[in-house]
Structure 1
Amino acid sequence: MLDAYLKRHDGVITLAQARAAGLSHSAVRRRLQSGHWVRRFQGVYFADDRPYTDAARIRAAVWSYGPYGAASGLSAAWWHGLTQFAPDTVEVTIPRGSNGRRRPGCKPRRRDIPSADIVEIRGMRVTNLPLTVVEAAARYGGGAKLMDAALQRRVVELRALWRIHLQHKGRYGSPRARRLLQASDDGAQSVAERLLHALLREARIDGWKANYRVGGYRVDVGFPVQKVAIEVDGFAFHSGADEFQIDRTRQNDIVMLRWKVLRFTWLDLTEHPERVVALIRAAITA
């Protein structure tokens, strides 16, 4: 029974679990002294007859914070299968008032999460999918690609992300999560166009016209003298196959008229405005 338990849980076991399986303190101590088990955290052990995988590392970290700890952020995203690479630092959300201190390789966040927003996957507590997406996307290493991928794969709906975001306002990363959700919304493109205009004015770049006609199309911003067109895109999940093909045909037609085309997303404008300005300057002065 113990071997089956260890196999199901990546070789990780807590002292409480070992006692529940019938092991005494002395039996646990003998396993540690013989090297069959290794102490990863206080009260958390790893059966050292197998590789210490990312799953084992994350599980050990989460379990080290007790029965009410839950993987969150990028740790939860990896556990849900939303990201390919496990984070180096394991984020664990624990209830307010918990006395869990920061441990090597761990980042505890104290917050009371309703039980409805916690799920158990492979025997470990994890924030549910909508909360995981909005929190992990706001972390460094997550970002727009994570949220966009979740929406494209239809593992979660945008309205569910907005609902969970509003339910958990004030958490760490909330402002950036809001910007990402706004970028995913249907009105993002018109907002992005106004942001682009503001960036151009702030950078004192002139010679451009908004909604400029090039051939049979209108581009978001056009530089008639330099023949540079700037287009603002929304997130990929808004476009189906037909829209994608129409958009590429449109861009090819504009390029055949000897115009350069630069494409930016809402997030380019909000997260990397200096890069956007630098690219536009390079294009209009080339």
Structure 2
Amino acid sequence: MLNELLRSHDGVITLAQANRAGLSRQSVHQRVNAGAWRRCARGVYFVDDRPFTDAARIRSAVWSFGECAAASGLAAAWWHGLTRFAPDVVEVTVPRSSSGRQRDGARPRRRDLAAADVVERRGLRVTSLPLTAIEAAVRGRGNRGLMDRALQGDSTLPQLWTAHLRNTGRHGSPAARILLRAAADGAHSEGERILLKLLRAADISGWRSNVRLGKYVVDVLFRDARVVIEVDGWAFHVDQTTFHSDRTRQNAIALNGWQVLRFTWLDLTEYPEQVIATIRAAIRA
């Protein structure tokens, strides 16, 4: 029972779990004194016969704040599989009444989560996928695509909105609302405005916006360079009909001798320098 528990918990065990597995407090202390177990925090141990993985680090950090703690933010995003890279600092959500203090490698957030916003994955309490997606997406530049990955999986936009509205007033709430609106139909027009702003800021001229080209109206056109720029509302959050229509439109424009560049809302907001560099290269070719 003990070996199975350690295997499924990445080598991490709490004192309470050890007691339930039949070990006394004295037996646990003997293992620590012998160097077989390492004390991670009060009442949390790691069996030092295996690598201390990211999973073990996150699990021990969460459990160090007690049974009511839950991984949140980027730590929860990694646990759900939304990102390949575990954060250096583990964000842990604890109840408002908790007395736990900040520890090295962990950052507590005090708030009371609704039951619908907490799930158990591989024996660890983490924020639910919808709440995780909208919170992790605003944890610094480069993470907005996490929300899109959730939408490509099992989460829906209404589920994300519901989780957001249930947790208004939290850290990052205004930025999350902007992302949720962008994931809806309004993202395309907002993406166009961002693109035009980037072009003006980069002092790029020779373009016109919303120009008719044959039977289509294109977002931005460089007539002399024969370059067309099209803006997609989000990254991959499009239905199959829209995807097919956009590609048919792009092929028709390209067959008439125009080079077509496509940028998503995420490209424009996360990688504006790369967008401008691509446009400069195209109009100079």
**Same fold judged by TM-score > 0.5?**
yes
Residue 23, structure 1, aligned to residue 23, structure 2: yes
Matched-pair identity in %? 61
User: Cα offset for 1:270?
Assistant: 3.4
1:42 is aligned to: 42
C-alpha change, 1:271 and 1:174, in structure 2 (3 Å) is farther
C-alpha change, 1:33 and 1:138, in structure 2 (3 Å) is same
Q: Which amino acid aligns with 1:70?
A: A
2:220 is aligned to: 221
TM-score by length of 2: 0.87
> Residue 191 of structure 2 contacts residue 268 of structure 2 at CA under 8 Å; is this kept in 1?
yes
- Provide the rounded CA distance (Å) in 1 between the counterparts of 2:226 and 2:202: 19
Aligned residues: 284
- Provide the rounded CA distance (Å) in 2 between the counterparts of 1:204 and 1:2: 66
Equivalent positions of 1:95-174 (< 5 A) are: 95-140=95-140, 143-153=143-153, 155-174=154-173
Query: Once structures 1 and 2 are overlaid, which stretch shifts more, 228-237 or 12-21?
Result: 12-21
> Residue 40 of structure 2 contacts residue 46 of structure 2 at CA under 8 Å; is this kept in 1?
yes
C-alpha change, 1:9 and 1:202, in structure 2 (3 Å) is closer
- Provide the rounded CA distance (Å) in 2 between the counterparts of 1:277 and 1:80: 34
User: Cα offset for 1:143?
Assistant: 2.3
User: Cα offset for 1:204?
Assistant: 5.2
- Provide the rounded CA distance (Å) in 1 between the counterparts of 2:141 and 2:3: 36
> Residue 13 of structure 1 contacts residue 46 of structure 1 at CA under 8 Å; is this kept in 2?
yes
- Provide the rounded CA distance (Å) in 1 between the counterparts of 2:165 and 2:251: 41
User: Cα offset for 1:19?
Assistant: 3.1
Q: Which amino acid aligns with 2:167?
A: H
User: Cα offset for 1:72?
Assistant: 0.5
Q: Which amino acid aligns with 1:170?
A: G
C-alpha change, 1:73 and 1:257, in structure 2 (3 Å) is same
- Provide the rounded CA distance (Å) in 1 between the counterparts of 2:146 and 2:201: 31
1:259 is aligned to: 258
User: Cα offset for 1:57?
Assistant: 1.7
Query: Once structures 1 and 2 are overlaid, which stretch shifts more, 63-72 or 99-108?
Result: 99-108
- Provide the rounded CA distance (Å) in 2 between the counterparts of 1:116 and 1:165: 12
SS in structure 1 of the partner of residue 163 of structure 2: helix
User: Cα offset for 1:200?
Assistant: 3.9
- Provide the rounded CA distance (Å) in 1 between the counterparts of 2:75 and 2:142: 11
User: Cα offset for 1:238?
Assistant: 1.1
Cα shift readout 1:173-202 (whole Å, capped 9, x = no counterpart): 223322321221122112322333344455
C-alpha change, 1:277 and 1:5, in structure 2 (3 Å) is closer
- Provide the rounded CA distance (Å) in 1 between the counterparts of 2:228 and 2:274: 17
Residue 195, structure 1, aligned to residue 194, structure 2: yes
User: Cα offset for 1:222?
Assistant: 1.3
C-alpha change, 1:71 and 1:184, in structure 2 (3 Å) is same
> Residue 189 of structure 1 contacts residue 266 of structure 1 at CA under 8 Å; is this kept in 2?
yes
Cα shift readout 1:70-128 (whole Å, capped 9, x = no counterpart): 00112112222333333332211112243322222222222222233112222221111
Equivalent positions of 1:3-22 (< 5 A) are: 3-22=3-22
Equivalent positions of 1:167-186 (< 5 A) are: 167-186=166-185
- Provide the rounded CA distance (Å) in 1 between the counterparts of 2:116 and 2:148: 24
TM-score by length of 1: 0.87
Q: Which amino acid aligns with 2:160?
A: L
User: Cα offset for 1:254?
Assistant: 2.3
- Provide the rounded CA distance (Å) in 2 between the counterparts of 1:100 and 1:146: 29
> Residue 186 of structure 2 contacts residue 233 of structure 2 at CA under 8 Å; is this kept in 1?
no
SS in structure 1 of the partner of residue 88 of structure 2: coil
Q: Which amino acid aligns with 1:214?
A: L
- Provide the rounded CA distance (Å) in 2 between the counterparts of 1:117 and 1:68: 13
User: Cα offset for 1:246?
Assistant: 3.8
> Residue 74 of structure 1 contacts residue 142 of structure 1 at CA under 8 Å; is this kept in 2?
no
- Provide the rounded CA distance (Å) in 2 between the counterparts of 1:126 and 1:262: 40
Equivalent positions of 1:40-119 (< 5 A) are: 40-119=40-119
> Residue 142 of structure 2 contacts residue 270 of structure 2 at CA under 8 Å; is this kept in 1?
no
Q: Which runs of 5+ in 1 are unaligned?
A: none
